[in-house]
Amino acid sequence: MSMENMIQIAQIVIAIIFGGLALYFKSKVKLTEKVSGLIAQAEDTYKSYTKAGGMKFEWVVTRLYVYVPVWLRPLITREVIGRIVQFVFDNVESYAKMQLDKLTDKVAK
The domain ranges of the chain are 30-108
- Note every long-range contact of 89-94, with CB atoms under 8 Å and residues 24 or more positions apart, other chains counting: 89/35, 89/39, 89/57, 92/36, 92/39
Q: Mean pLDDT score of the chain, rounded to an integer?
A: 82
Instruction: List, in order, residues 6 or more apart from 43 with CB less than 8 Å away.
Output: 56
Q: Does residue 74 have a pLDDT over 80?
A: yes
pLDDT digits (tens, 9 = 90+) for 16-59: 888 777 777 676 777 778 888 888 888 888 777 777 778 888 88
pLDDT digits (tens, 9 = 90+) for 17-29: 887 777 776 767 7
pTM: 0.60
